[in-house]
Structure 1
């Protein structure tokens, strides 16, 4: 299973795909359940125009399967005043498309491994920052497998978040990183 990331095309077909993904009931933690196609288009056109936030379309074996976003947490109005932030931090969000077809064991791990490799490819990145909803126990377990450590819970719009950090060293020693090297 090979997962890759590339720039997010802002064409109608990709935006329709994103709309289906972010509004699906399994994507509740993405907080876009009631979004229209136009809402999604505005959101991702805005991200494309931002100097501190990027969106990436992820493919597994050539098929679009996931969305990743990277951002500067020091530029995020909800995070920038957190004392835990440090120079070299890169924020990350990941959304795996709702399943269509038979289960694909290892898919989510392959996706997160590719996203972490993408984030850490920049030598200026010292840590990856995530802030998932504390109720999202599935991503909490996967984040721990990747080397993330929860610093604390913080109140963010629409959620209580588990502010978490993953250093290069912690990811290199993680179970997920070991899976990356065995492919």
Structure 2
């Protein structure tokens, strides 16, 4: 089994917090790390709090094999710091719950538990994720469906340009469907156009 991490697929430098990068998750080598993150009490909205290590590994092997879903490990200054999932909402997560438009992409992100908070870190992470998603010229709009109770992520979403649409009932949660176009993101952050 190779221990060489997958190649980086995106990088950006934040003036305050330094170098950020994304690479595909390797379920074989990242499983233990991700298990610690997704089962941490801080990650309650990730809905994997009781998952065992083999269950987490299976989940990320399944995502790696999926045609419409993928996962990325986010690095800050070379250190694993956040997790990103990208999905096609016409096929995953939101099937039958809204009318997808051409160029829609879905996203989840999770920051690693940290001993000492780093001011602005989570906003920098979501900005990095959005810039990454908009590097694909086919992406016109990012779709998210966070738990309606997750007020912290709603505020972050608004900060990068998301507009709340409506509540949708998913099997695992009541979600707040929200959208952000390239133009909304650019207006909110000065980012990708």
TM-score by length of structure 2 reads: 0.87
2:84, 2:108 within 8 Å by CA — same for their partners in 1? yes
Residue number among 95, 111, 132 corresponding to 1:118 in the alignment: 132
Taking the aligned partners of 2:37 and 2:137, their CA distance within structure 1 comes to 31
The match for 1:86 is 101
Residue 158 (structure 1) shift = 2.0
Distance in 1 (alpha carbons) for counterparts of 2:104 and 2:155:
21
Which residue, 36, 47, 59 being the options, matches 1:31?
47
- Cα distance in 1 for partners of 2:172, 2:71 equals 21
SS of the aligned residue for 2:71 comes to strand
- 3-state DSSP of counterpart to 1:57: strand
How many residue pairs get matched? 175
2:182 maps to what in 1?
168
State whether residues 5 and 114 of structure 1, in contact with CA within 8 Å, keep that contact through their aligned partners in structure 2.
no
Query: Which consecutive residues of structure 1, in runs of 5 or more, have no partner in the other structure?
Result: none
Q: How does 1:39-58 map to 2 (within 5 A)?
A: 39-58=55-74
> Is 1:74 matched with 2:96?
no
Of 138, 144, 158, 1:144 maps to 158
* Cα root mean square deviation, aligned: 1.3
Whether contact under 8 Å (1:5, 1:59) holds in the other structure is: yes
Unaligned runs of 5+ in 2: 1-16
- Correspondence for 1:7: 24
**1:97 maps to which residue?**
112
Are the counterparts in 2 of residues 47 and 53 from structure 1 also a CA contact under 8 Å?
A: yes
Distance in 2 (alpha carbons) for counterparts of 1:79 and 1:109: 25
Structure 1 segments (4+ residues) deviating >6 Å: none
TM-score of the superposed pair, with normalisation by structure 1: 0.92
